[in-house]
Amino acid sequence: MHMTADAREVSQTASGAAATRDIYLPSERKKISGGGTPHVVAKDFSIYYGEFEAVKKVNADILSKYVTAIIGPSGCGKSTYLRAINRMNDLIPSCHTTGALLFDGEDIYGKFTDEVLLRKKIGMVFQKPNPFPKSIFDNIAYGPRLHGINDRKQLAEIVERSLRKAALWDEVSDRLDKNALGLSGGQQQRLCVARTLAVEPEILLLDEPTSALDPKATAKIEDLIQELRGSYTIMIVTHNMQQASRVSDYTMFFYEGVLVEYAPTAQLFTNPKDRMTEDYITGRFS
């Protein structure tokens, strides 16, 4: 379901005023055929930084092809949880996990799991747009080239397809050979989405993808998420509850490393089961 520009404006105005948290909720979101099977399954899954338990015994199924938002105050472990799914936390030497995190039934942290293959299937877009200092074309083609596609024609097709999916094609089709760092922040972030899509992942992890962008660019990314919904399993970490309510089908609320509540978005925002969730979404704390 597409929201109208008016609705977004209303909600953004609302986000300015902390006192009245008018939350826009799509009255009904389309069911996705072939979706809804457990894609990423956490079983008593904990993440530690050294001794510190950043994420505590999470049990949750992320459903395929739907958009799941993760909200919660700063330092609640939501980004840590997201980055655990494609093992980006491996970059932090002190980080380790207990319990199980399954992707298509296989343990992400299993002894024989190839994290490189895993990351190909689980793409990620980061908080700050991070295109490589290469041309737009080379940015998109980077992933496919890594995975063995070197035919120029085939690459060109992939680049066009990915850029179209990321709604960037019309803006950059005439300057694919220009350096990607010359794009605006919003364009760069959509380029990053396109770059991730180019390796044809199954899951798209978005780690606060709009926190560095202006409202206009944010709107474009949100539209893009709507476009991609149904084709990919999408998980988005966000600080912006309006954004979570606008783009997601399901929402997880983390607080101090604990998954407090996980429910369909409409339900979580209108009728939260937990007191903590209610306090957070009504702005009693943040």
Partner 1 sequence: MNLGTRKILDRSFTAVGFGSIAVMGIALLIVLVPIITNGIGSVFFTGTIEHRNMLFNEFGRGNREELAKENAASEVYRKQIYGMLSAFEAELETMDSEKKQDYLSKYGPVKTALQTLIGPLPGEAEAILTRYKYGQTRWGKAEEKLHEFLYETRWDNSNPDAMAKEYFVSQATEFEGTSLVKLFPFVEEHLEDVLRPRFTVYWGFLTDSSVDSHIFGGIWPEIQGTFFLAVGAMLFAFPLGVIAAIYFTEYAREGFFNSILRSANSTLAGVPSIVFGLFGLAFFINTLKVSESKSVLAGSLTLAIMILPTIIRAAEEAILSVPKTYKEASLSLGSTKWNTIMTVILPAALPGIITGGVISLGRAAGETAPIIFTAAVSVGSAIGLADVFSSPTPALSWNIYNLASEHEAAAEIRHVQYGMVLALVSIVLMLNLSAILLRARISKKLKG
Residues that bind partner 1 (CB under 8 A): 86, 88, 91, 93, 116-121, 123-124, 126, 128, 130-133, 142-143, 146-147, 178-182, 192, 195-196, 199
In sequence order, the 6+-apart residues with CB closer than 8 A to the CB of 137 are 155, 156, 159, 176, 177
Q: Which letter, b or e, does each residue of 209-237 get, where b requires 16 or more Cβ atoms within 10 Å of its Cβ? A: bbebbeeebbbbbbbbbbebbbebbbbbb
Q: How far is the CB of 180 from partner 1 (least distance, A)?
A: 7
In the complex with partner 1, the residue whose CB is nearer, 72 or 129, is: 129
The Cα diameter of the chain in Å comes to 56
Q: How far is the CB of 122 from partner 1 (least distance, A)?
A: 8
Residue type, 247: V
In the complex with partner 1, the residue whose CB is nearer, 34 or 93, is: 93
Q: How far is the CB of 116 from partner 1 (least distance, A)?
A: 5
Residue type, 7: A
Q: How far is the CB of 182 from partner 1 (least distance, A)?
A: 4
232 and 65 Cβ atoms separated by less than 8 Å: yes
Residue 267 tokens, joined: 């339900």
Residue 264 tokens, joined: 């369909």
In the complex with partner 1, the residue whose CB is nearer, 93 or 105, is: 93
Distance CA(164)–CA(224), nearest Å, equals 10
Distance CA(150)–CA(113), nearest Å, equals 27
Cβ atoms < 10 Å from Cβ of 79: 23
In the complex with partner 1, the residue whose CB is nearer, 71 or 199, is: 199
Q: How far is the CB of 119 from partner 1 (least distance, A)?
A: 4
Distance CA(144)–CA(183), nearest Å, equals 22
In the complex with partner 1, the residue whose CB is nearer, 118 or 168, is: 118
Q: How far is the CB of 183 from partner 1 (least distance, A)?
A: 9
Q: How far is the CB of 46 from partner 1 (least distance, A)?
A: 23
In the complex with partner 1, the residue whose CB is nearer, 138 or 222, is: 138
